Structure 1
Protein backbone atom coordinates (compact mmCIF):
# COMPACT_ATOMS: atom_id res chain seq x y z
CA UNK A 1 0.00 0.00 0.00
CA UNK A 2 1.40 3.39 -1.02
CA UNK A 3 1.36 5.98 1.73
CA UNK A 4 2.52 9.57 1.81
CA UNK A 5 3.54 12.24 4.29
CA UNK A 6 4.64 15.86 4.08
CA UNK A 7 8.37 16.59 4.02
CA UNK A 8 7.86 20.04 5.53
CA UNK A 9 4.90 22.35 6.21
CA UNK A 10 5.35 24.27 2.95
CA UNK A 11 6.52 21.70 0.42
CA UNK A 12 7.30 18.13 -0.40
CA UNK A 13 5.76 14.67 -0.21
CA UNK A 14 7.50 11.41 0.70
CA UNK A 15 5.97 8.23 -0.69
CA UNK A 16 6.47 4.83 0.91
CA UNK A 17 5.37 1.39 -0.24
CA UNK A 18 6.24 2.05 -3.89
CA UNK A 19 7.05 -1.20 -5.72
CA UNK A 20 6.18 -0.14 -9.28
CA UNK A 21 7.01 3.50 -10.08
CA UNK A 22 5.12 3.19 -13.39
CA UNK A 23 1.85 2.20 -11.73
CA UNK A 24 -0.87 4.51 -13.06
CA UNK A 25 -2.31 5.37 -9.66
CA UNK A 26 1.14 6.23 -8.32
CA UNK A 27 1.98 8.36 -11.35
CA UNK A 28 -1.26 10.31 -10.86
CA UNK A 29 -0.27 10.97 -7.25
CA UNK A 30 3.19 12.08 -8.41
CA UNK A 31 1.71 14.67 -10.76
CA UNK A 32 -0.54 15.96 -7.97
CA UNK A 33 2.40 16.12 -5.57
CA UNK A 34 4.54 18.06 -8.02
CA UNK A 35 1.72 20.49 -8.75
CA UNK A 36 0.76 21.27 -5.17
CA UNK A 37 3.80 20.31 -3.08
CA UNK A 38 6.69 20.86 -5.50
CA UNK A 39 9.00 18.02 -4.41
CA UNK A 40 8.48 14.26 -4.15
CA UNK A 41 10.74 11.67 -2.56
CA UNK A 42 10.91 7.89 -2.67
CA UNK A 43 13.71 6.51 -0.53
CA UNK A 44 15.66 3.44 -1.57
CA UNK A 45 13.90 2.91 -4.89
CA UNK A 46 17.17 2.01 -6.67
CA UNK A 47 16.08 2.82 -10.23
CA UNK A 48 18.59 2.01 -12.94
CA UNK A 49 19.00 4.42 -15.87
CA UNK A 50 16.34 2.78 -18.04
CA UNK A 51 13.83 2.71 -15.20
CA UNK A 52 14.57 6.34 -14.37
CA UNK A 53 14.05 7.29 -18.02
CA UNK A 54 10.77 5.36 -18.21
CA UNK A 55 9.52 7.11 -15.08
CA UNK A 56 10.66 10.49 -16.41
CA UNK A 57 8.87 9.98 -19.72
CA UNK A 58 5.66 9.42 -17.83
CA UNK A 59 5.98 13.05 -16.66
CA UNK A 60 6.76 14.55 -20.09
CA UNK A 61 9.36 14.69 -22.84
CA UNK A 62 12.94 14.21 -21.65
CA UNK A 63 15.64 16.72 -22.62
CA UNK A 64 18.38 15.28 -24.81
CA UNK A 65 21.74 17.08 -24.96
CA UNK A 66 24.64 15.78 -27.04
CA UNK A 67 22.74 12.53 -27.45
CA UNK A 68 22.36 12.05 -23.68
CA UNK A 69 19.19 11.87 -21.58
CA UNK A 70 20.93 10.89 -18.33
CA UNK A 71 23.32 13.48 -16.91
CA UNK A 72 25.92 12.72 -14.20
CA UNK A 73 25.83 15.31 -11.41
CA UNK A 74 29.16 15.65 -9.61
CA UNK A 75 31.82 18.30 -8.92
CA UNK A 76 34.45 15.60 -9.38
CA UNK A 77 35.99 16.18 -12.85
CA UNK A 78 36.54 12.43 -13.20
CA UNK A 79 32.79 11.86 -12.98
CA UNK A 80 31.32 14.80 -14.91
CA UNK A 81 32.51 16.91 -17.84
CA UNK A 82 30.55 19.86 -16.43
CA UNK A 83 31.98 19.57 -12.90
CA UNK A 84 33.55 23.05 -13.10
CA UNK A 85 30.21 24.75 -13.77
CA UNK A 86 28.26 22.59 -11.33
CA UNK A 87 29.91 24.40 -8.45
CA UNK A 88 27.42 27.15 -9.26
CA UNK A 89 24.75 24.72 -8.05
CA UNK A 90 25.91 25.37 -4.48
CA UNK A 91 23.83 28.57 -4.74
CA UNK A 92 20.03 28.76 -4.85
CA UNK A 93 18.72 28.70 -8.42
CA UNK A 94 16.06 27.76 -10.94
CA UNK A 95 17.26 25.95 -14.05
CA UNK A 96 16.65 27.46 -17.47
CA UNK A 97 16.32 31.15 -16.62
CA UNK A 98 18.15 31.96 -19.87
CA UNK A 99 15.30 30.32 -21.83
CA UNK A 100 11.84 31.63 -22.68
CA UNK A 101 10.36 28.34 -21.44
CA UNK A 102 12.16 26.86 -18.43
CA UNK A 103 12.35 23.14 -17.83
CA UNK A 104 9.28 21.67 -16.17
CA UNK A 105 10.86 19.28 -13.68
CA UNK A 106 13.91 17.16 -12.98
CA UNK A 107 14.60 13.79 -11.39
CA UNK A 108 17.65 12.69 -9.44
CA UNK A 109 18.68 9.24 -8.30
CA UNK A 110 21.62 8.70 -5.95
CA UNK A 111 24.33 6.34 -7.18
CA UNK A 112 26.98 7.33 -4.61
CA UNK A 113 26.73 9.79 -1.72
CA UNK A 114 29.21 12.09 -0.03
CA UNK A 115 30.76 11.13 3.29
CA UNK A 116 30.41 14.74 4.42
CA UNK A 117 27.92 17.27 3.00
CA UNK A 118 26.36 16.86 -0.41
CA UNK A 119 22.71 17.16 0.55
CA UNK A 120 20.21 19.05 -1.62
CA UNK A 121 17.95 21.83 -0.41
CA UNK A 122 14.68 22.99 -1.95
CA UNK A 123 12.64 26.16 -1.34
CA UNK A 124 9.11 26.95 -2.53
CA UNK A 125 8.71 30.20 -4.46
CA UNK A 126 4.93 29.69 -4.30
CA UNK A 127 4.92 29.64 -0.51
CA UNK A 128 7.31 32.58 -0.43
CA UNK A 129 4.95 34.67 -2.57
CA UNK A 130 1.81 33.58 -0.73
CA UNK A 131 3.27 34.72 2.58
CA UNK A 132 4.59 38.09 1.43
CA UNK A 133 3.22 41.13 3.27
CA UNK A 134 0.82 43.12 1.09
CA UNK A 135 3.24 46.04 0.87
CA UNK A 136 5.93 43.78 -0.60
CA UNK A 137 3.51 42.23 -3.10
CA UNK A 138 2.72 45.73 -4.32
CA UNK A 139 6.42 46.62 -4.40
CA UNK A 140 7.37 43.59 -6.50
CA UNK A 141 4.35 43.34 -8.78
CA UNK A 142 5.63 45.32 -11.76
CA UNK A 143 9.37 44.77 -11.39
CA UNK A 144 11.35 43.03 -14.10
CA UNK A 145 14.67 41.28 -13.56
CA UNK A 146 17.51 40.38 -15.93
CA UNK A 147 18.90 36.88 -15.34
CA UNK A 148 22.27 35.70 -16.61
CA UNK A 149 24.58 32.70 -16.43
CA UNK A 150 27.38 35.15 -15.68
CA UNK A 151 25.68 36.28 -12.46
CA UNK A 152 25.62 32.73 -11.10
CA UNK A 153 29.19 31.94 -12.14
CA UNK A 154 30.57 35.11 -10.54
CA UNK A 155 29.42 33.73 -7.18
CA UNK A 156 31.91 30.88 -7.70
CA UNK A 157 34.58 32.76 -9.64
CA UNK A 158 34.39 36.51 -8.95
CA UNK A 159 37.53 37.30 -10.95
CA UNK A 160 37.20 35.50 -14.29
CA UNK A 161 39.67 35.65 -17.11
CA UNK A 162 38.58 37.30 -20.35
CA UNK A 163 38.25 33.84 -21.90
CA UNK A 164 36.04 32.62 -19.05
CA UNK A 165 33.92 35.77 -19.22
CA UNK A 166 33.48 35.41 -22.97
CA UNK A 167 32.39 31.81 -22.47
CA UNK A 168 29.79 32.77 -19.86
CA UNK A 169 28.41 35.47 -22.12
CA UNK A 170 27.69 33.01 -24.93
CA UNK A 171 24.64 32.09 -22.82
CA UNK A 172 22.09 34.87 -23.46
CA UNK A 173 20.71 36.96 -20.62
CA UNK A 174 16.95 37.02 -20.20
CA UNK A 175 14.57 39.65 -18.84
CA UNK A 176 11.39 38.51 -17.07
CA UNK A 177 8.85 39.52 -14.45
CA UNK A 178 9.87 39.10 -10.82
CA UNK A 179 6.34 37.88 -10.04
CA UNK A 180 5.35 35.05 -12.36
CA UNK A 181 1.59 34.99 -13.00
CA UNK A 182 0.97 31.33 -13.63
CA UNK A 183 -1.60 30.01 -16.06
CA UNK A 184 -3.40 28.15 -13.24
CA UNK A 185 -3.94 31.45 -11.41
CA UNK A 186 -1.21 31.05 -8.82
CA UNK A 187 1.82 33.30 -8.53
CA UNK A 188 5.44 32.55 -7.75
CA UNK A 189 8.72 34.43 -7.51
CA UNK A 190 11.53 34.16 -10.07
CA UNK A 191 14.74 34.65 -8.15
CA UNK A 192 18.02 32.90 -7.38
CA UNK A 193 21.68 33.03 -8.32
CA UNK A 194 21.04 34.02 -11.94
CA UNK A 195 19.14 37.19 -10.93
CA UNK A 196 21.56 39.89 -12.07
CA UNK A 197 19.69 43.17 -11.66
CA UNK A 198 16.28 44.81 -11.51
CA UNK A 199 15.52 46.75 -14.68
CA UNK A 200 15.72 50.52 -14.23
CA UNK A 201 16.84 50.39 -10.60
CA UNK A 202 20.00 51.82 -9.05
CA UNK A 203 22.56 48.97 -8.97
CA UNK A 204 23.10 49.08 -5.21
CA UNK A 205 19.36 49.25 -4.52
CA UNK A 206 18.76 46.45 -7.02
CA UNK A 207 21.33 44.17 -5.38
CA UNK A 208 19.91 44.85 -1.93
CA UNK A 209 16.37 44.04 -3.08
CA UNK A 210 17.37 40.80 -4.80
CA UNK A 211 19.42 39.67 -1.79
CA UNK A 212 16.53 40.51 0.55
CA UNK A 213 14.07 38.62 -1.64
CA UNK A 214 16.28 35.52 -1.85
CA UNK A 215 16.73 35.52 1.91
CA UNK A 216 12.94 35.71 2.32
CA UNK A 217 12.27 32.94 -0.19
CA UNK A 218 14.77 30.50 1.31
CA UNK A 219 13.93 30.93 4.97
CA UNK A 220 13.51 27.69 6.92
CA UNK A 221 9.70 27.57 6.83
CA UNK A 222 9.69 27.51 3.01
CA UNK A 223 12.37 24.86 2.49
CA UNK A 224 13.31 21.19 2.80
CA UNK A 225 16.82 19.73 3.09
CA UNK A 226 17.36 16.22 1.75
CA UNK A 227 20.17 14.02 3.03
CA UNK A 228 20.92 11.50 0.30
CA UNK A 229 21.12 7.72 0.64
CA UNK A 230 22.02 5.43 -2.24
CA UNK A 231 18.91 4.57 -4.27
CA UNK A 232 16.84 7.64 -3.36
CA UNK A 233 14.65 9.21 -6.05
CA UNK A 234 13.82 12.91 -5.80
CA UNK A 235 11.70 14.85 -8.31
CA UNK A 236 10.98 18.57 -8.19
CA UNK A 237 8.94 21.19 -10.02
CA UNK A 238 11.66 23.45 -11.42
CA UNK A 239 9.18 26.24 -12.19
CA UNK A 240 8.27 26.85 -8.54
CA UNK A 241 11.09 25.35 -6.49
CA UNK A 242 14.55 26.80 -5.98
CA UNK A 243 17.26 24.24 -5.27
CA UNK A 244 20.91 24.05 -4.33
CA UNK A 245 23.50 21.42 -3.47
CA UNK A 246 25.20 21.62 -0.10
CA UNK A 247 29.01 21.74 -0.47
CA UNK A 248 31.05 18.55 -0.59
CA UNK A 249 34.64 17.66 -1.47
CA UNK A 250 35.71 17.83 -5.11
CA UNK A 251 37.20 14.34 -4.88
CA UNK A 252 34.03 12.90 -3.33
CA UNK A 253 32.42 9.78 -4.77
CA UNK A 254 29.05 11.56 -4.73
CA UNK A 255 27.25 10.91 -8.01
CA UNK A 256 23.63 11.59 -8.87
CA UNK A 257 21.99 10.71 -12.18
CA UNK A 258 19.61 13.33 -13.49
CA UNK A 259 16.89 13.54 -16.10
CA UNK A 260 15.28 16.80 -17.19
CA UNK A 261 11.66 17.23 -18.33
CA UNK A 262 10.85 19.66 -21.15
CA UNK A 263 8.93 22.74 -20.03
CA UNK A 264 5.52 23.85 -21.27
CA UNK A 265 4.93 27.26 -19.64
CA UNK A 266 6.84 30.39 -20.62
CA UNK A 267 8.14 32.91 -18.11
CA UNK A 268 5.98 36.00 -17.91
Structure 2
Protein backbone atom coordinates (compact mmCIF):
# COMPACT_ATOMS: atom_id res chain seq x y z
CA UNK A 1 0.00 0.00 0.00
CA UNK A 2 1.56 3.34 -1.00
CA UNK A 3 2.29 5.83 1.80
CA UNK A 4 0.39 9.10 1.43
CA UNK A 5 2.51 12.17 0.90
CA UNK A 6 2.51 14.65 3.82
CA UNK A 7 0.36 17.71 3.24
CA UNK A 8 0.46 21.16 4.79
CA UNK A 9 -2.21 22.16 7.27
CA UNK A 10 -2.98 25.20 9.38
CA UNK A 11 -1.76 25.22 13.00
CA UNK A 12 -2.75 27.76 15.65
CA UNK A 13 -1.34 27.69 19.16
CA UNK A 14 -4.07 27.84 21.79
CA UNK A 15 -1.95 28.85 24.80
CA UNK A 16 1.71 29.85 25.09
CA UNK A 17 3.00 26.60 26.63
CA UNK A 18 0.37 24.00 25.68
CA UNK A 19 -2.20 23.18 23.03
CA UNK A 20 -2.49 23.64 19.28
CA UNK A 21 -5.51 23.65 17.01
CA UNK A 22 -5.26 22.31 13.49
CA UNK A 23 -7.64 22.75 10.57
CA UNK A 24 -8.29 19.59 8.60
CA UNK A 25 -11.16 17.77 6.89
CA UNK A 26 -12.15 14.20 7.68
CA UNK A 27 -10.88 12.76 4.40
CA UNK A 28 -7.38 14.18 4.91
CA UNK A 29 -7.33 13.11 8.54
CA UNK A 30 -8.24 9.52 7.70
CA UNK A 31 -5.80 9.31 4.80
CA UNK A 32 -2.89 9.16 7.23
CA UNK A 33 -1.03 11.76 5.20
CA UNK A 34 -0.66 14.01 8.26
CA UNK A 35 -0.45 11.43 11.01
CA UNK A 36 3.30 11.72 11.60
CA UNK A 37 3.02 15.52 11.72
CA UNK A 38 0.05 15.38 14.10
CA UNK A 39 1.89 12.99 16.40
CA UNK A 40 4.98 15.23 16.42
CA UNK A 41 2.80 18.24 17.23
CA UNK A 42 1.11 16.27 20.01
CA UNK A 43 4.46 15.41 21.59
CA UNK A 44 5.63 19.02 21.28
CA UNK A 45 2.47 20.79 22.46
CA UNK A 46 0.72 18.20 24.65
CA UNK A 47 -2.76 18.79 23.22
CA UNK A 48 -4.06 18.88 19.63
CA UNK A 49 -7.63 20.00 18.91
CA UNK A 50 -9.58 19.72 15.65
CA UNK A 51 -12.92 21.51 15.62
CA UNK A 52 -16.21 20.25 14.24
CA UNK A 53 -15.11 16.98 12.65
CA UNK A 54 -18.20 15.02 13.76
CA UNK A 55 -16.42 11.68 13.42
CA UNK A 56 -18.25 8.38 13.60
CA UNK A 57 -16.87 5.74 15.97
CA UNK A 58 -15.40 3.81 13.04
CA UNK A 59 -13.67 6.95 11.76
CA UNK A 60 -12.29 7.79 15.20
CA UNK A 61 -10.95 4.26 15.61
CA UNK A 62 -9.39 4.34 12.13
CA UNK A 63 -7.66 7.65 12.79
CA UNK A 64 -6.44 6.54 16.22
CA UNK A 65 -4.67 3.60 14.58
CA UNK A 66 -2.74 5.94 12.27
CA UNK A 67 -0.85 7.64 15.13
CA UNK A 68 -0.04 4.71 17.40
CA UNK A 69 -1.19 1.33 18.71
CA UNK A 70 -4.83 1.45 19.75
CA UNK A 71 -5.60 -0.16 23.13
CA UNK A 72 -8.94 -1.57 22.04
CA UNK A 73 -10.83 -1.18 18.78
CA UNK A 74 -13.77 0.39 20.52
CA UNK A 75 -14.92 3.91 21.36
CA UNK A 76 -15.82 4.14 25.04
CA UNK A 77 -18.71 6.31 26.19
CA UNK A 78 -17.65 8.91 28.76
CA UNK A 79 -20.81 10.08 30.45
CA UNK A 80 -22.34 10.32 33.91
CA UNK A 81 -25.51 8.60 32.69
CA UNK A 82 -25.40 5.13 34.33
CA UNK A 83 -27.71 3.77 31.62
CA UNK A 84 -24.98 4.47 29.07
CA UNK A 85 -21.92 3.98 31.28
CA UNK A 86 -22.00 1.32 34.00
CA UNK A 87 -18.88 2.81 35.65
CA UNK A 88 -20.25 6.36 35.76
CA UNK A 89 -19.67 6.58 39.51
CA UNK A 90 -16.00 5.75 39.08
CA UNK A 91 -15.33 8.43 36.45
CA UNK A 92 -16.41 11.21 38.81
CA UNK A 93 -12.72 11.24 39.66
CA UNK A 94 -12.21 12.94 36.29
CA UNK A 95 -13.17 16.27 37.93
CA UNK A 96 -9.78 16.34 39.70
CA UNK A 97 -6.32 16.77 38.19
CA UNK A 98 -4.87 13.41 37.22
CA UNK A 99 -2.71 11.36 34.87
CA UNK A 100 -4.28 8.16 33.57
CA UNK A 101 -2.46 4.96 34.47
CA UNK A 102 -0.55 5.86 37.62
CA UNK A 103 -1.58 2.55 39.18
CA UNK A 104 0.59 0.71 36.65
CA UNK A 105 4.10 1.11 35.33
CA UNK A 106 3.31 1.82 31.66
CA UNK A 107 0.59 4.47 31.30
CA UNK A 108 -1.30 4.96 28.06
CA UNK A 109 0.48 7.26 25.64
CA UNK A 110 -2.50 9.36 24.58
CA UNK A 111 -6.27 9.70 24.52
CA UNK A 112 -8.54 10.92 21.75
CA UNK A 113 -11.95 12.25 22.75
CA UNK A 114 -14.78 13.49 20.56
CA UNK A 115 -17.83 15.40 21.73
CA UNK A 116 -21.21 13.87 20.92
CA UNK A 117 -23.50 15.77 23.30
CA UNK A 118 -22.68 18.83 25.42
CA UNK A 119 -23.92 20.09 28.76
CA UNK A 120 -25.62 23.49 28.78
CA UNK A 121 -23.07 24.81 31.29
CA UNK A 122 -19.62 23.66 32.40
CA UNK A 123 -18.01 20.50 31.07
CA UNK A 124 -14.84 22.10 29.71
CA UNK A 125 -11.65 20.02 29.87
CA UNK A 126 -8.43 21.48 31.23
CA UNK A 127 -4.92 20.26 30.48
CA UNK A 128 -1.69 21.09 32.32
CA UNK A 129 1.74 20.76 30.69
CA UNK A 130 3.86 18.82 33.19
CA UNK A 131 6.94 19.06 30.95
CA UNK A 132 6.83 22.86 30.95
CA UNK A 133 6.12 22.93 34.69
CA UNK A 134 9.25 20.89 35.37
CA UNK A 135 11.34 22.97 32.95
CA UNK A 136 10.49 26.20 34.78
CA UNK A 137 11.49 24.98 38.23
CA UNK A 138 14.68 26.41 39.79
CA UNK A 139 17.65 24.17 39.08
CA UNK A 140 18.27 23.41 42.75
CA UNK A 141 14.67 22.24 43.20
CA UNK A 142 14.88 20.04 40.11
CA UNK A 143 17.85 18.23 41.62
CA UNK A 144 16.06 17.72 44.94
CA UNK A 145 12.80 16.52 43.39
CA UNK A 146 14.52 13.98 41.17
CA UNK A 147 15.51 12.03 44.29
CA UNK A 148 11.92 11.62 45.49
CA UNK A 149 9.44 8.76 45.07
CA UNK A 150 5.68 9.15 45.50
CA UNK A 151 3.23 6.46 46.62
CA UNK A 152 0.11 6.45 44.43
CA UNK A 153 -3.13 4.87 45.64
CA UNK A 154 -6.44 4.38 43.83
CA UNK A 155 -8.32 4.85 47.10
CA UNK A 156 -6.81 8.34 47.57
CA UNK A 157 -8.28 9.49 44.25
CA UNK A 158 -11.66 7.95 45.05
CA UNK A 159 -11.82 9.77 48.39
CA UNK A 160 -12.04 13.05 46.45
CA UNK A 161 -15.45 11.81 45.30
CA UNK A 162 -16.58 9.83 48.37
CA UNK A 163 -14.71 11.03 51.46
CA UNK A 164 -16.65 8.69 53.77
CA UNK A 165 -16.83 5.33 51.97
CA UNK A 166 -18.34 2.26 53.53
CA UNK A 167 -15.88 -0.40 54.65
CA UNK A 168 -17.05 -2.63 51.79
CA UNK A 169 -16.43 0.13 49.23
CA UNK A 170 -13.03 0.94 50.70
CA UNK A 171 -11.99 -2.70 50.48
CA UNK A 172 -12.99 -2.76 46.81
CA UNK A 173 -10.78 0.27 46.19
CA UNK A 174 -7.94 -1.44 48.02
CA UNK A 175 -7.89 -4.29 45.54
CA UNK A 176 -5.67 -1.87 43.59
CA UNK A 177 -2.24 -2.13 45.19
CA UNK A 178 -0.21 1.05 45.91
CA UNK A 179 2.30 2.00 43.24
CA UNK A 180 5.58 3.82 43.86
CA UNK A 181 6.57 6.20 41.07
CA UNK A 182 9.25 8.85 40.61
CA UNK A 183 8.12 12.41 41.21
CA UNK A 184 10.17 13.39 38.16
CA UNK A 185 9.77 11.14 35.10
CA UNK A 186 12.85 11.02 32.88
CA UNK A 187 11.54 10.06 29.44
CA UNK A 188 13.50 8.15 26.83
CA UNK A 189 13.61 11.38 24.81
CA UNK A 190 15.60 12.97 27.65
CA UNK A 191 12.75 15.33 28.53
CA UNK A 192 11.48 15.35 32.11
CA UNK A 193 7.99 15.85 33.52
CA UNK A 194 6.31 15.93 36.92
CA UNK A 195 4.17 12.94 37.95
CA UNK A 196 1.37 14.35 40.09
CA UNK A 197 -2.41 14.13 40.36
CA UNK A 198 -5.20 12.81 42.51
CA UNK A 199 -3.74 9.33 43.04
CA UNK A 200 -0.62 10.79 44.70
CA UNK A 201 -0.84 9.78 48.36
CA UNK A 202 2.45 10.70 50.01
CA UNK A 203 6.18 11.07 49.43
CA UNK A 204 8.11 7.97 50.38
CA UNK A 205 10.40 8.51 53.36
CA UNK A 206 9.18 12.07 54.05
CA UNK A 207 7.18 13.30 57.04
CA UNK A 208 3.53 12.77 56.04
CA UNK A 209 2.39 16.38 56.43
CA UNK A 210 5.54 17.74 54.82
CA UNK A 211 4.98 15.42 51.84
CA UNK A 212 1.33 16.45 51.51
CA UNK A 213 2.39 20.09 51.52
CA UNK A 214 4.97 19.43 48.79
CA UNK A 215 2.55 17.54 46.55
CA UNK A 216 -0.11 20.20 46.98
CA UNK A 217 2.33 23.01 46.27
CA UNK A 218 3.56 21.29 43.11
CA UNK A 219 0.01 20.63 41.91
CA UNK A 220 -0.87 24.29 42.41
CA UNK A 221 2.35 25.31 40.67
CA UNK A 222 1.87 22.97 37.68
CA UNK A 223 -1.72 24.12 37.13
CA UNK A 224 -0.98 27.85 36.97
CA UNK A 225 -2.48 29.63 33.94
CA UNK A 226 0.81 29.68 32.00
CA UNK A 227 0.86 25.87 31.94
CA UNK A 228 -2.86 25.25 31.28
CA UNK A 229 -5.16 25.08 28.26
CA UNK A 230 -8.94 24.95 28.78
CA UNK A 231 -10.91 23.45 25.91
CA UNK A 232 -14.37 24.94 25.39
CA UNK A 233 -16.13 22.11 23.62
CA UNK A 234 -18.27 22.54 20.55
CA UNK A 235 -20.20 19.65 19.05
CA UNK A 236 -18.07 17.33 16.96
CA UNK A 237 -14.66 18.44 18.28
CA UNK A 238 -11.82 15.94 18.50
CA UNK A 239 -9.17 16.56 21.18
CA UNK A 240 -5.99 14.48 21.53
CA UNK A 241 -3.73 14.74 24.56
CA UNK A 242 -0.36 13.27 25.46
CA UNK A 243 -1.07 11.50 28.74
CA UNK A 244 2.65 11.14 29.45
CA UNK A 245 3.29 14.88 29.56
CA UNK A 246 0.05 16.40 30.80
CA UNK A 247 -2.50 16.21 33.60
CA UNK A 248 -6.17 16.77 32.82
CA UNK A 249 -9.54 17.25 34.46
CA UNK A 250 -13.14 17.98 33.50
CA UNK A 251 -14.89 21.02 34.93
CA UNK A 252 -18.17 20.55 36.76
CA UNK A 253 -21.43 20.12 34.87
CA UNK A 254 -24.91 18.86 35.70
CA UNK A 255 -24.88 15.10 36.25
CA UNK A 256 -28.22 14.78 34.42
CA UNK A 257 -27.10 16.85 31.42
CA UNK A 258 -26.48 13.84 29.20
CA UNK A 259 -23.01 15.12 28.28
CA UNK A 260 -21.44 12.44 26.10
CA UNK A 261 -17.86 11.99 24.91
CA UNK A 262 -16.46 9.04 22.95
CA UNK A 263 -12.88 8.11 23.77
CA UNK A 264 -10.19 5.95 22.20
CA UNK A 265 -6.71 5.44 23.62
CA UNK A 266 -3.19 4.74 22.41
CA UNK A 267 -1.13 2.09 24.18
CA UNK A 268 1.76 3.12 26.38
CA UNK A 269 5.22 3.06 24.89
CA UNK A 270 7.48 3.69 27.89
CA UNK A 271 7.42 3.02 31.61
CA UNK A 272 7.55 5.55 34.44
CA UNK A 273 10.83 4.01 35.62
Q: What interval of TM-score do these two structures reach, taking the shorter chain for normalisation?
A: over 0.9
Q: 2:140 matched to 1:135?
A: yes
Q: Is the 8 A contact 1:74 1:254 kept in 2?
A: yes
Q: Name the counterpart of 1:244.
A: 249
Total equivalences in the alignment: 265
How far apart, CA to CA, are the structure 1 residues paired with 2:53 and 2:36? 18
Q: 2:55 matched to 1:11?
A: no
Once the 2 structures are TM-superposed, how far is the Cα of residue 135 of structure 1 from its aligned partner? 2.7
Match of 1:89 among 91, 94, 117: 94
How far apart, CA to CA, are the structure 2 residues paired with 1:84 and 1:100? 25
Q: 2:195 matched to 1:187?
A: no
Match of 2:182 among 172, 177, 181: 177
Once the 2 structures are TM-superposed, how far is the Cα of residue 193 of structure 1 from its aligned partner? 0.6
- In the TM superposition, 1:39-58 aligns within 5 A as 39-58=47-66
Once the 2 structures are TM-superposed, how far is the Cα of residue 112 of structure 1 from its aligned partner? 0.1
Q: Name the counterpart of 2:69.
A: 61
Q: Is the 8 A contact 1:21 1:27 kept in 2?
A: yes
Once the 2 structures are TM-superposed, how far is the Cα of residue 60 of structure 1 from its aligned partner? 1.9
How far apart, CA to CA, are the structure 2 residues paired with 1:262 and 1:138? 30
RMSD: 1.2
**1:21 partner SS:** helix
Task: Point out where structure 1 has 5 or more consecutive residues left out of the alignment.
Answer: none
Tell me which stretches of 4 or more aligned residues in structure 1 moved more than 3 Å.
Answer: none
How far apart, CA to CA, are the structure 2 residues paired with 1:32 and 1:199? 35
Q: Name the counterpart of 1:263.
A: 268
Match of 2:206 among 171, 186, 201: 201
How far apart, CA to CA, are the structure 2 residues paired with 1:251 and 1:79? 12
Once the 2 structures are TM-superposed, how far is the Cα of residue 133 of structure 1 from its aligned partner? 1.4
Task: Point out where structure 2 has 5 or more consecutive residues left out of the alignment.
Answer: 1-7
